[in-house]
Amino acid sequence: MSTVAEAPKPKSFVRDFTASIVVFLVAMPLCMGIAIASGVPPEKGLVTGIIGGLVVGFLAGSPLQVSGPAAGLAVIVFELVREQGLSALGPILILAGAIQVIAGVLRVGGWFRAISPAVVHGMLAGIGILIVVGQYHVLFDAKPLSSGLANLAAMPGRVLGLSSDLASTEMALALGLLTIATMLGWDKFKPAAVKLVPGALVGVVAATLVAFSFGFDVTRVSVPSNIVSAIALPENGFFAKWMDPSVITAAIALAFIASAETLLSAAAVDRMHDGVRTNYNKELRAQGIGNLLCGVAGALPMTGVIVRSSANVQAGAQTRLSAILHGAWILGFVALLPWLLREIPMAALGAVLVVTGAKLVNLKHVRHLFAHYGVLPAAIWAVTCLLVVTEDLLTGVLVGIALSLLELVPNLRRLGLKVDQQEEAGEHRIALAGSATFITLPKLSDRLESVPGGKSVLLDVSRLDAVDHSCAELLKDWLQRRRAGGSPVDVQGASGKTAVLAG
């Protein structure tokens, strides 16, 4: 669907306008905090947020998804900057963006959905742990160390180094703890009249007011007075870095992980509303263009981000205008009020990332995997998470994907999936035969999404020999969304391995 066709009507304009303000308030502290967690100046994250809104918001294949710097990439960027320097980030991003654009043109966007949910959630849990142990040190006005294990080992020493004197370390920790307590308290007890005001904003404002009122001598955010000065255009020798194999490897890894996170976020956003569904290949192309521009500007990489996207949907956004406007609000704020940003304590942003990272460690998901699908998916989650923390993110993801192949072993002789669709007496009938595994997930997803809304559907799984947890989760999400939208779906022949679909 074209952007022109999605032009907002007067009623939707009001909802998009108000939703964009909510998303802007959520995005501001996260853009700066993620930049700091990535080991780069906070304005780099703001530039990415602006591009994610104004450019990617306009081009996106998922109209209600919001793009910007992602906590899931902070660990990768931190390692890249530490090992290769900030100057290598631009060439890596341009190449990664080009890979995403080409992948979108070649229509491989749907294949990223085939990545096992156990791998994705295990990856996010590992990233969450790394963010928590890294930003823990920022609470003490210190910098994170070179690795997750080093950060973990140094944690007790930070506490043991505290004294009864109110030095900068103690004051920074007090502000960080105040931010965390305010965020958690606000999320639990906030009045209904202001329920859309994000806890991260309230926590940062509270810490900033305390630090300003009492004149605390703590490290504060450093941003330039002119946002244009945050843009670092390519210089001599910029493209020569593409001759370095480590740069090419980093670009491929970044493109793969950013694409997977974006498209899985888009799938989650689709489950939150009944509007236009995601065009995965268009979304991939838009993200590629966004990362190309971020590389040219010397900013952070971007993905579609679930926290800002869910805030967008919950605030009542109707069209892509909300995501576009949130980028305009970030640009206006940093252009007109940079002095206000410079009053924010670094410990407050570190606290925001501690809470954000903790939320990525979703133990409910691994319990769900174990209860419904057995030991293997839960083990894939655990191994992926462990390797992300102890080795690196790419190793964790690749090993997780390799372990996912074990789910194919029982069905090696019958890996094909046949999907028959026909109309019978006004009812749309879908018959599945064979094995529904992650390698057939893109095909299954495309056929299910092609069913017109409002139609009564009979889903016959009586000839489905096996279904792995990736396809089972896809089918359950599709069933729930159809039924929630008022379209009746009757599942026929669910038993044994397909019994999970009966509900």
- Please give the full DSSP string across 356-392, using - where no structure is assigned: HHHHH--HHHHHHHHHHH-HHHHHHHHHHHHHHHHT-
pLDDT for the residue numbered 3: 44
CATH number of the domain encompassing residue 473: 3.30.750.24
- 436: helix, strand or coil: strand
C-alpha distance from residue 56 to each of 51, 62, 155, 276, 320 (Å) = 7, 10, 39, 17, 10
Per-residue pLDDT of the chain (503 residues; tens, 9 = 90+): 444 445 556 668 888 998 899 899 888 888 998 998 888 999 999 999 999 999 999 999 999 999 999 887 888 899 889 888 888 899 999 999 999 999 999 988 878 777 888 888 888 888 889 889 888 998 998 888 777 888 888 888 888 888 766 678 899 999 999 999 999 999 888 888 888 788 888 999 999 999 999 999 999 988 888 888 888 888 777 778 888 888 899 999 899 889 988 987 887 788 777 778 888 899 999 999 999 999 999 999 999 988 888 888 888 889 999 999 999 999 999 988 889 989 999 999 889 889 888 888 889 889 988 988 889 999 999 999 999 888 877 788 889 989 988 887 776 667 788 888 888 767 888 888 888 888 888 888 888 888 877 778 888 888 888 888 888 888 888 888 777 777 788 888 776 555 566 55
- Domain boundary (306, 341, 376) is at 341
- Domain boundary (291, 323, 341) is at 341
45 close to 303: Cβ distance less than 8 angstroms: no
Structure tokens at 381: 């989650």
Residues 334 and 425 in one domain: no
Residues 337 and 451 in one domain: no
Q: Which residues of 19-56 are buried (b: 16+ CB within 10 A; e: fewer)?
A: bbebbbbbbbbbbbbbbbbbbbbbbbbbbbbbbbbbbb
Phi, psi (rounded to 5 degrees) for 303: -145, 175
Residues 42 and 190 in one domain: yes
- 336 belongs to a structural domain: yes
Counting every residue written for the chain, the total comes to: 503
Q: Using CA atoms, how far apart are residues 173 and 485, in angstroms rounded to an integer? A: 48
Residues 249 and 138 in one domain: yes
- 376 belongs to a structural domain: no
- Please give the full DSSP string across 165-195, using - where no structure is assigned: S--HHHHHHHHHHHHHHHHHHHHHH--GGGT
Residues 295 and 176 in one domain: yes
- 395 belongs to a structural domain: no
Structure tokens at 349: 């942003």
- 394 belongs to a structural domain: no
Torsion region of 151: left, alpha or beta (phi above 0 gives left; psi -120 to 50 gives alpha): alpha
For the chain, what is the domain count? 2
Residues 311 and 424 in one domain: no
Q: Using CA atoms, how far apart are residues 354 and 357, in angstroms rounded to an integer? A: 5
- Domain boundary (313, 341, 369) is at 341
Q: Is the dihedral of CA 62, 66, 67, 69 positive or negative?
A: negative
- 412 belongs to a structural domain: no
Residues 421 and 320 in one domain: no
51 close to 340: Cβ distance less than 8 angstroms: no
Structure tokens at 217: 């001598």
- 57 belongs to a structural domain: yes
Residues 163 and 276 in one domain: yes
Half-sphere exposure of 244 (CA within 13 A, CB side): 15
Residues 113 and 255 in one domain: yes
Residues 288 and 430 in one domain: no
Residues 328 and 471 in one domain: no
- Domain of 117? 10-341
Environment class of residue 485 by beta-carbon count within 10 Å: exposed (0-12), middle (13-18) or buried (19+)?
exposed
Residues 319 and 440 in one domain: no
- 78 belongs to a structural domain: yes
Torsion angle, CA of 7/313/357/115, rounded to 10 degrees? -80
- 407 belongs to a structural domain: no
Going by DSSP bridges, is the β-strand pair 417-424/303-305 parallel, antiparallel, or unpaired? unpaired
